Amino acid sequence: MTIKRSFLAFALAALLLAILIPCRTVHGDTQKAETIDELAARYDSTSCEECHEEEYAQWEKSAHARSMVGSGYGRTRATLKTLVTRGLMTWQYSGVKKPEDVKIKHLMGCAKCHLPQLAEATDEVAQEIVKAVWAKDNETLNKLNINCLICHQRNAITHKWVDGYPQKNAVYGTYDGEHDSEEQEVLKRSPNLSESIMCGQCHGLGPQFELEQPTQCATAYGSYLWAYIPEGGTQSCQDCHMKKFNKGHTMPAYRDLDMQDAAVDMDIDVSSYHWRKNKAEGVVPMALVKVALTNKTGHGIPDG
Ligand code: HEC
Ligand code: HEC
Ligand code: HEC
Ligand code: HEC
Ligand code: HEC
């Protein structure tokens, strides 16, 4: 009787683990989001604005706030369409013959960085995204982005087997404590938020060889780790992109005048001569211009 009961308990536990573990998302949720609205609600950060007005206003101006649309008319949105029409649909073994065939796995090569939470959605959401891309529907696409809860919760822990999985009732900052908000009443210290690896999660090392069809966009973190740091660089991404000009969550880059000025040292040396070129042309004026450009950023430029 006891043997039978403990065997049953064991079998039940094993079954539960087998069902739960493979479906587990970063939060430990087992349900996948079935619509764009459902996925947006899972990481709804609108409530943060009430108390963190400045960070919110800066973030709204950042590239992170429109990571599925991009700059200008919607450069990222347009490239997502190119991925489908000139990539997926032309590749014999991709499984995509028409836009209606696009599934989550086809978008993750880009979404891994442009929308990491897409991993927690069903193929119906992939179809909703494709429709919005075709309709140039920026409003719908902008519901999904890299917002407060992506950096301060979902992606705030990189080594989850060491530091645990992010909790839904917590925001992750620089210290432990209570948090004066209804839904996230706990404040926890994130082990990576102030480190360059935080940004390195999406700002690339090199080709994503873990995928069936590797692709790559950003590589800044690779040259940061393998060129800037070995050359004696000491600044973090946050030092240069958030703190240096005190522009915080706008995280400026080359479109920002202060950042442009900080990007390269330019040393120009000009000498002029009267040069005896040849018999026919005689003495002609000539200038020798020496230009030395030194990259002062923490990585190769341009990137992405
Ligand atoms: C009702 C007000 C309120 C709301 C809403 C709120 N916060 Fe906070 N938050 C605070 C206060 C106050 C602090 C300062 C720490 C404390 O509570 O003792 C704080 C601290 C933080 C910190 C830590 C900052 C640091 O220096 O490490 C982070 C990160 C943070 N909040 C993120 C968020 C995010 C993300 C949201 C939205 C999901 C949010 N907060 C919503 C009031 C709020
Ligand atoms: C390794 C992470 C990563 C992957 C994978 C990735 N991107 Fe990017 N992408 C970025 C980052 C980070 C930037 C912005 C920073 C930069 O310029 O490096 C960016 C910038 C862009 C830009 C320029 C945006 C603008 O507003 O000017 C486009 C367009 C773009 N990505 C499209 C794509 C598409 C389409 C895919 C998939 C085929 C993709 N990316 C895959 C991380 C990635
Ligand atoms: C792309 C990642 C990213 C996003 C998106 C993001 N944060 Fe942050 N946040 C950080 C980092 C990194 C720090 C600085 C940690 C440190 O001190 O080094 C930070 C710091 C903070 C702080 C501490 C005070 C400060 O301004 O330095 C608060 C509060 C905060 N964030 C709230 C928010 C809110 C609210 C949002 C959404 C509007 C948001 N963050 C979006 C990465 C992000
Ligand atoms: C979840 C992924 C993710 C994280 C984490 C992240 N980024 Fe980004 N970042 C992106 C993507 C994707 C873009 C480009 C969005 C677009 O334009 O389509 C971007 C854009 C940028 C840009 C603007 C580049 C331009 O073209 O103007 C800067 C600067 C930047 N990120 C810096 C940072 C820094 C610093 C951190 C860490 C504090 C960070 N990012 C964390 C994904 C991420
Ligand atoms: C020593 C300062 C410094 C460090 C460290 C640094 N950056 Fe930059 N970064 C800059 C400057 C300055 C620019 C503007 C370059 C320009 O004008 O083209 C820039 C440009 C960028 C861009 C835009 C790329 C482009 O095409 O010009 C991205 C994205 C970016 N940085 C992300 C990061 C990330 C992520 C890290 C950490 C892994 C990082 N940066 C570390 C100073 C720095």
Q: Please give the pLDDT value at position 27.
A: 62
Residue for token pair 């919110």: 56
Using CA positions, which residue lies closest to atom 28 of ligand 3? 55
Q: Please give the pLDDT value at position 26.
A: 61
Integer Cα distance of 166 and 178 in angstroms: 16
Q: Please give the pLDDT value at position 252.
A: 97
Integer Cα distance of 26 and 190 in angstroms: 15
Residue type, 61: K
Integer Cα distance of 87 and 110 in angstroms: 13
Residue for token pair 């800037």: 228
Integer Cα distance of 54 and 208 in angstroms: 35
Integer Cα distance of 299 and 280 in angstroms: 50
* Under 8 Å between Cβ of 235 and 262: no
Q: What is the mean pLDDT of each run of 10 residues along the chain (304 residues)?
A: 46 44 54 96 96 98 98 96 98 98 97 97 98 98 98 96 95 97 95 96 89 90 96 97 98 96 95 94 95 96 88
Q: Please give the pLDDT value at position 34.
A: 97
Integer Cα distance of 137 and 31 in angstroms: 27
* Under 8 Å between Cβ of 299 and 223: yes
Residue type, 117: Q
Q: Please give the pLDDT value at position 12.
A: 46
Q: Please give the pLDDT value at position 71.
A: 95
Token readout for 279 is: 């018999």
Q: Please give the pLDDT value at position 28.
A: 59
Vertex 72 angle, CA 200 and 69, to 5°: 55
Contacts of 241 (CB under 8 A, 6+ apart): 199, 251, 252, 253
Ligand 1 cavity residues, CB under 6 Å: 45, 47-48, 50-52, 148-149, 152, 171, 173-175, 177-181, 184, 187
Calculate how far, in angstroms, residue 56's C-alpha sits from the geometric centre of ligand 3: 9
Calculate how far, in angstroms, residue 249's C-alpha sits from the geometric centre of ligand 3: 6
* Under 8 Å between Cβ of 56 and 138: no
Calculate how far, in angstroms, residue 155's C-alpha sits from the geometric centre of ligand 5: 20
Using CA positions, which residue lies closest to atom 3 of ligand 4? 202
Residue type, 58: Q
Contacts of 192 (CB under 8 A, 6+ apart): 156, 157, 158, 198
Q: Please give the pLDDT value at position 13.
A: 47
